[in-house]
Amino acid sequence: MKNRIITISRQFGSGGRTVGREVAQKLGIPCYDHELIERLAEESGFAKEYIKNESEYRPFGSRLASALNVGTGFDPLTNQDRLWIAQKRMILELGAKESCVIVGRCADAILEDQADCLRVFIHASFEQRAKRIVEVYGETEVPTERRLRDKDKRRISYYQYYTDRTWGDINNYDVALDAGRLGIDKCVEIIAGLY
Amino acid sequence: MKNRIITISRQFGSGGRTVGREVAQKLGIPCYDHELIERLAEESGFAKEYIKNESEYRPFGSRLASALNVGTGFDPLTNQDRLWIAQKRMILELGAKESCVIVGRCADAILEDQADCLRVFIHASFEQRAKRIVEVYGETEVPTERRLRDKDKRRISYYQYYTDRTWGDINNYDVALDAGRLGIDKCVEIIAGLY
């Protein structure tokens, strides 16, 4: 198997983004994470902050809106739907064009039919993720535990809505690693070794 | 993290047992799989074939039996319960005694509190598992698809019943690998490299 593209899905606070950056650096290929949001902003016309905040929310009720508007000529797409379409097109273009690491953004599902895509999932225990988000992002008014639970719920729901797959289902990944137990460096070594 | 014990949970037909044997060989430590059944037979008095066939079935109705027999002096344990108790004791003893690879038998859950236990899950696509079980075990009267589905259902149910955990939940494993996509050799290399 030739792994030209590496997709990294990760639990919030697991260190998956750092793993992605370091794998890309080690392999000398680009890593798309925040860069995708910037490109998406340029192409879609939405503001970066809006994309960052909204693009992980599934549009509640949009199916209903869609059903109610059949045949009326009214565009039933929500902003989230439009963002999803732009994001999907962008990831498919990236996948067809260059070797790279893509962090998050449902890239594993979008590129699932690409034989040369290595699909990675990075996770860690709740306790280790809680510790990490305080270290990396600092404290906020919202309790750490709630920040983690909210983000998890949002990702699971968004992923399920747009891909019809279960987020974190072991069968969807070539490699799943507990970065809390193995450490970031070991994860980077394993993934780079599979490229 | 020092990984003195490696537990390998695996989907039927994924090649997980072969991965376990080869990792043990590479590391020069024992691998327990069929050996556990033999030891269990010696210690429990049950026949090997009985253990092989029954020990992956959860005892339907035993909780009811248990409830009905409270205080009557009648032993409410099913044969499966007795096998489970013997198996658990044996795995805890092995874990306390020596470095080894243990394939299946809920060893990941039984040894979950051992800090020096590397918990591995090996899976593969349905198509690849179907191909492999015909190659390894030959054709039977039962269609391949049904053999896979039955075995999957049995393991999921048995594991859930005795460990109160979900079999194949990505969060329960330090490393999960798709042996169909990565190949047996690469899986062995990664796991041995983590020891």
Q: What is the ipTM of this complex?
A: 0.84
Closest Cα partner for B81 from B158, B1, B7?
Answer: B158
> Is the CB of B171 less than 8 angstroms away from the CB of A125?
yes
- Residue A169 is given by DSSP the state B
- Kindly identify which residue of chain B lies nearest to residue A179, measuring between CA atoms: B174
> For the residues A23-52, what does the mean pLDDT come to?
84
Grouping H, G, I as helix, E, B as strand and the rest as coil, residue A18 is helix
The number of helix segments (H) and strand segments (E) in chain B equals 10, 5
**CB of B10 within 8 A of CB of B168?**
no
Does A115 reach chain B within 8 Å, measured CB to CB?
A: no
Closest Cα of chain A to B47: distance in Å?
Answer: 35
d(CA A132, CA A139): 11
Does A184 reach chain B within 8 Å, measured CB to CB?
A: no
Query: For residues A23 and B40, which has the higher predicted lDDT (pLDDT)?
Result: A23
**Token pair belonging to A42:** 């340029």
> Is the CB of A175 less than 8 angstroms away from the CB of B182?
yes
Q: Furthest-apart CA pair in chain B: how many Å?
A: 56
A64-113 pLDDT, tens per residue? 444 444 445 556 788 788 888 888 888 888 888 889 999 988 999 999 87
d(CA A56, CA A58): 6
> Is the CB of A170 less than 8 angstroms away from the CB of B168?
yes
Does B171 reach chain A within 8 Å, measured CB to CB?
A: yes
> Is the CB of A123 less than 8 angstroms away from the CB of B176?
no
> For the residues A172-182, what does the mean pLDDT come to?
96
Does B181 reach chain A within 8 Å, measured CB to CB?
A: yes
- Residues of chain A with pLDDT > 70, as a percent, come to 87
Residue A19 pLDDT exceeds 90: yes
pLDDT at position A2 is 54
Which pLDDT band, with edges at 50, 70 and 90, does B39 fall under? Answer: confident
User: Which chain A residues are Cβ-neighbours of B1 within 8 angstroms?
Assistant: 181-183
d(CA B134, CA B140): 8
B170-195 pLDDT, tens per residue? 999 999 999 999 999 999 999 999 98
Which pLDDT band, with edges at 50, 70 and 90, does B59 fall under? Answer: low
Does B184 reach chain A within 8 Å, measured CB to CB?
A: no
